Amino acid sequence: MTNNEIEKKWQKKWADAKLFQSDPNEKEKLFLTVAYPYPSGAMHIGHGRTYTVPDVFARFKRMEGYNVLFPMAWHVTGAPVIGIADRIKRKDPWTLDLYERVHKVPHDTLPSLEDPINIVKYFSNEYHTVMDDMGYSIDWRREFRTIDPTYKKFITWQAKKLKSLGLIKQGEHPVKYCPHDENPVGDHDLLEGEGVGVNELTLIKFEVEPGLYIVPATFRPETIFAATNVWLNPEVHYIEVEVKTGANAREKWIISNEAFLNLSNQHDLEIVGDIDPKPLIGKYVKNPLNGEPLPIFPASFVDPEYGSGTVFSVPAHAPADYIALRDLKENEELIKDFDIKEEVAKAEPLNVVTVEGYGEFPAVEVVERMGIENQNDPKVQDATDELYKAEHSKGYISDHIEKYAGKRVAFIRDEIKADMIEAGSADIMYDFAERPVICRCGNKCVVKVMDDQWFIRYGDEEWTEKTQKVLAQETIIPEEIRSNFEYYLDWLDDWACSRRVGLGTRVPWDDQWLIEPLSDSTMYMSYYTIAKYLKDMDPEDLNEAFFEKVFLGVDSDEITVPEETVNQIQEEFNYWYPLDWRLSAKDLVGNHLSFLMFTHAAIYPEEKWPKGTVVFGMGLLEGNKMSSSKGNVILLADAIEQYSADVVRLFLMASAEPWQDFDWREKEVRGTQRRLEWFREFAQKVEDIKGEKLDLSNIEEVPLERSIDKWMINQLNIHIKEATEALEVFQTRQALQHALFLLKKDLDHYLYRVQDLIEAKDPAVIYVLSTLLSNWIRLLAPFTPHTSEELWSKYGGEGFVSFAKWPEYNEDLISKEIERSESLVQNIVKDINEIKNIVDTDPEKIHLYLAPEWKWELYKIADEVGKPDIGQIMGKAIKADIYDNKKEIANVAKRISKEMIKTRYIGKIDEETILNDAKDFIESEVGSEIVIHTDDSYDPQNKARNAMPYKPAIFME
């Protein structure tokens, strides 16, 4: 059978045995979930890492004796599939190519994907199949889609619950928005721009002529007091727009054409006509604060897509402005073209902010200190970041700005903005912190101010405080991510939780809206626990009273489900909850994972709060970020077909810890494939060495006398211990270092050491190798379950290895002395061969002199002193009267002081027995007769005095 056929065989056996169907029992439970996928495309190797980590952990904990629940479902809420279906229907070439070539949808199937429901059915089925092919130990009875009627009832209950607690409100708020779909969007709705924030900016009106304004947008309205000019980009298409309604009605603004789409979704704007910026350059606008004229200058750095596509210049406090002004002063050709020689000559920095550590013009200082040469220097951003942070956190408005003098910038900024808005000289706009932000429909997104949107009030102080308590009692892996959570829990504010278009659950009290994807996926872990019951129930019976009873124990006469059934469902929920571990990607820390904590804090009592969160890194392909939309992926199904599921699993778990980014590299995957093949061959080799069929369930124990046999069992127990401790905290790479790579290295050494004994079918060697194989198959079972099942079955293991007992390390069999004994043998061989190479000799005999008892006692004293303090070591040695020759004690103490840093004292080992035990091996390695001396009765060259603990002296003759 091929490896793929073997994997299929065991997947069928697991399914037939219903091996991973988990129900409440007397065992200690463990409930873990991973972010359910959004199946709008085929599963790739990045997904493979995401879903293999929890499977490895689930399999490990089952073998430790836990009753493990690992469920899976499909998140199909939202607008992405609507956009995909629309593009397929429109025969968009890029989309058709993507789905046929990258996602490998059969050509004849593509037309059916014009229906978004068919997309989610097709790909959720494909995901299910591939997850089975990967050997995931999922309880599929709990599978659901987030558009299932029963799940919608659950979400309806959850939404009403939050609203009843005053945590959902309606109001005006800026949201990410797709004008094409006419729908607010979240990160899951985007092709590009996930995690990009929305910034509030101040639009400041610089009058060109009565009723006509240039309206630059700024983070820092306080810097208007130091404005020297306005920048326009001569190569940009500008337009004149009229504000139709609101406080600015009938005003006309000059903005870039590119800025219109975003601004018009926040203000009621109508395009009047085009504006050629070139005739405006050299003209003057009025500073809205004092009416002073400010010139308009040309600048290529002005981005037409950001803000309004215009900028006002503050060269004293903005490095980019200072550099642009400096460059302009040196550009005689540009000055001549626009006839602005006099205006440019007069433009000099003006101060508005005083900040400790900087002079009157901080931007000038920073630019010169960093040696920034021009506007294209990447250090411009560094300079901007430094100065912005310094002035925001430590800056004060300078004394000559009378109204606001001496006030902290961080606190006065909003006051200045409010004063300007009240005076009619400013307004608010919103823009993305970064671009592009692209909807899955393929169109650019904007920031839209919606006035009838529903919001979840994550900014509520009392709720936030309670949610911080959820975080405090959780285990976070890796722990350094905890500070990210603390930041986001405090930073999160109102979250737009409804959408106009998409799949999902209607807002129960306002059915023109749908609940958006990140708001219907914060408590589905609870739903998993009862999903196997609900899929066969009438959705109409799943009213609020039902969920209140099941999840919160609230009795009600409105429950229509039979009492016995309700009690059974409630008992199942209470058995599995709270959630023990939640696993998800690091880009979800600031939304989904935080929302989960918020929702649990709001609805559940403390004993039902989640207990732990593991955060994943991202996936790379040959060093580049994976992207399905860009075709830079390898489909998981293809990887399984080419290498087998166990090879894929092994590589993904060994290449990086889950929270680190991993890189799929074909060469390294092939190396992993060879290692797994070696492991299969090793199992057969053990049976060949024994000369008869192995029975791993009945290994005949043999007393171990040789140091090398004890050493191999010692190393096995060390690796079991290290692998176990690593897996307990999800360190899959560290676990595999011990469970495979380092253990193989030790085995290779052992096989080399006992090669003569192998040929003689030595009983102790057979016992050691059989014991090693039995433990090794089980150690690798969470990582390579199919291979482990096959070997376990083939060589006499009892039952499924998936439920075999996890290997237990025996502390009594772990000994530093045994480790040091083998190191002694290896170091002797190494030292002898190095000496032979140096002196270029081939001696007949090699004499080894062992350290006398007093040197061991001196080493012990040095260890007790704990540091290379020769005086203190000498004092204690003389007091203990360990040896008569004080001069010799001093010489040896000096050597020990140097040696103890490299070779830690672990107690005296029986070097004579160890070396005699390994004498044949040493002789074969060095090609000479070995003579071991415990005294200096034969010492023609006085070498015995050089003998040290753990390092015998050597004499060749």
For 139-162, write each residue's pLDDT tens digit: 999 999 999 999 999 999 999 999
Report d(CA 95, CA 84) in Å as an integer. 8
The CATH number for 773's domain is: 1.10.730.10
Find out whether the peptide bond into 508 is cis, omega within 30 degrees of 0. no
731 and 774 in a single domain? The answer is yes
Question: What's the confidence (pLDDT) of residue 245?
Answer: 93
Task: Retrieve residue 365's tokens.
Answer: 């200082």
Torsion of CA 504, 508, 513, 518, to 10 degrees: -50
| Three-state secondary structure call for residue 69 | strand
By three-state DSSP, how is residue 408 classified?
A: strand
- Can you tell me whether residue 924 is helix, strand or coil? helix
CATH number at residue 829: 3.30.2320.20
* 932 confidence band (pLDDT: 50, 70, 90): very high
pLDDT of 373 over the 90 cut: no
Q: Which of 373-382, 395-404, 779-788 is the least confident region? A: 373-382
| 749 pLDDT above the threshold of 80 | yes
Which whole number is the average pLDDT over 176-183? Answer: 88
Phi, then psi, of 226 in degrees rounded to 5? -115, 20
Q: How confident is the model at residue 677 (pLDDT cuts 50, 70, 90)?
A: very high
* Mean pLDDT taken over the chain: 93
631 falls in which pLDDT band (50, 70, 90)? low
Same domain, 318 and 380: yes
Instruction: Answer yes or no: is 554 within a domain.
Output: no
Residues 629 and 773 in one domain: no
Asked if residue 179 is part of any domain, the answer here is no
Same-domain status, 380 and 288: yes
pLDDT the model gives residue 867? 85
In a domain, 446, yes or no: no
Whether residue 707 is found in the same domain as residue 773 = yes
Quick one: 467 exposed, middle or buried, by C-beta within 10 A (0-12, 13-18, 19+)? Answer: buried
- Which of 152, 159, 155, 77 is closest to 509 using CA atoms? 159
Q: Percentage of residues in the chain with pLDDT exceeding 90?
A: 79
> Is 461 part of any domain?
no
Shared domain for 810 and 846, answered yes or no, is no
> CA quadruple 837, 839, 842, 844: dihedral positive or negative?
negative
Say how far apart CA 516 and CA 501 lie, in whole Å: 9
The 3-state secondary structure of 163-201, one letter per residue: HHCCCEEEEEEEEEEECCCCEECCHHHEEECCCCCEEEE
Both 772 and 826 in a single domain? no
Element holding 14 (H helix, E strand): helix 3-16
Average confidence (pLDDT) over 680-695:
94
End of a domain among 814, 843, 862?
814
- The CATH number of residue 34's host domain is 3.40.50.620
Instruction: Answer whether residue 587 is part of any domain.
Output: no
pLDDT at 56: 98
Give yes or no for residue 724 having a pLDDT over 90. yes
Say if CB 247 and CB 288 are below 8 A apart: no
Kindly state the helix (H) or strand (E) to which residue 93 belongs, with its residue range. Answer: helix 93-97
Between these two residues, 626 and 680, which has the higher pLDDT value? 680
pLDDT on residue 630 = 63
Cα angle at 393 between 388 and 394, to 5 degrees? 100
Q: How confident is the model at residue 873 (pLDDT cuts 50, 70, 90)?
A: confident
Residues, the chain: 957
Residues 682 and 658 in one domain: no
Tell me, what amino acid is at 36?
Answer: Y
Structure tokens at 647: 């090879």
Same domain, 866 and 779: no
Peptide bond into 277 cis (omega under 30): no
> Which DSSP string do the residues of 464-505 spell out, in sequence order?
HHHHHHHHHHSEEESGGGHHHHHHHHHH--EEE-EESSSBSP
Q: Please determine, for residue 627, whether its predicted confidence score (pLDDT) is greater than 70.
A: no
Cα 448 to Cα 429: distance, rounded to the nearest angstrom: 10
**CB of 335 within 8 A of CB of 295?**
no
Domain count, the chain: 4
pTM exceeds 0.85 for this model: no
**pLDDT score, position 629:** 63
Sign of CA dihedral 213, 215, 221, 222: negative
Residues 416 and 292 in one domain: yes
Is the separation of the CB atoms in 349 and 229 below 8 Å? no
Contact 456, 167 (CB under 8 A): yes
Domain presence at residue 947: yes
Does position 133 have pLDDT exceeding 70, yes or no? yes
In a domain, 329, yes or no: yes
Contacts of 786 (CB under 8 A, 6+ apart): 3, 6, 7, 10, 11, 135, 644, 645, 646
Domain that holds residue 838: 820-956
Q: Are 322 and 364 in contact (CB under 8 A)?
A: yes
At residue 76, the pLDDT reads 94
Count of Cβ atoms closer than 10 Å to residue 830 Cβ: 12
Q: Which letter does DSSP use for residue 927 in this model? A: T
Question: What gap in Å lies between CA 40 and CA 43, rounded to an integer?
Answer: 9
Q: What's the confidence (pLDDT) of residue 424?
A: 95
> What is the signed CA dihedral for 39, 44, 46, 50, rounded to 10 degrees?
50
Residue 347 lies in a domain: yes
Which whole number is the average pLDDT over 89-107? 92
Whether residues 227 and 358 fall in one domain: yes
Q: 5 by DSSP, 3-state: which?
A: helix
pLDDT recorded at residue 912: 93
Report whether pLDDT(383) > 80.
yes
CATH number at residue 385: 3.90.740.10
Can you tell me whether residue 344 is helix, strand or coil? Answer: helix
More confident: 258 or 813? 258
Whether 888 has a pLDDT exceeding 90, the answer reads no
Cis peptide before 288 (omega within 30 of 0): no
Whether the Cβ atoms of residue 817 and residue 913 lie closer than 8 Å to each other: no
Q: What is the mean pLDDT of residues 84-108?
A: 92
The answer to whether the peptide bond before residue 940 is cis (omega within 30 degrees of 0) is no
Last residue of a domain, one of 432, 451, 470: 432
SS3 181: coil
Assess contact for 3 and 135: CB atoms under 8 A: no
Tokens of 750: 């052992």
* Axis-axis angle for helices 919-926, 816-839 (nearest 10): 30
Contacts with 884 (C-beta within 8 Å, 6 or more apart), sequence order? none
Give the mean pLDDT of 28-33. Answer: 98
Last residue of a domain, one of 814, 846, 875: 814
pLDDT at 622 over 90: no
DSSP string, 712-777: HHHHHHHHHHHHHHHHHTT-HHHHHIIIIIIHHHHHHHHHHHTHHHHHTT-HHHHHHHHHHHHHHH
Is there a single domain that holds both residue 632 and residue 721? no
Can you give the pLDDT at residue 623?
66
Return the CA Rg of the chain: 37
One-letter amino acid for residue 448 of the chain: K
Give the position of tokens 């009600």. Answer: 556
Q: Which of 853, 752, 186, 943 is nearest to 519 (CA)?
A: 186
pLDDT tens digit string along 574-586? 999 999 999 999 8
Across the range 403-418, mean pLDDT stands at: 92
Average pLDDT for residues 793-811, to the nearest whole number?
Answer: 95
| Angle, CA of 535, 536 and 537, to the nearest 5° | 95
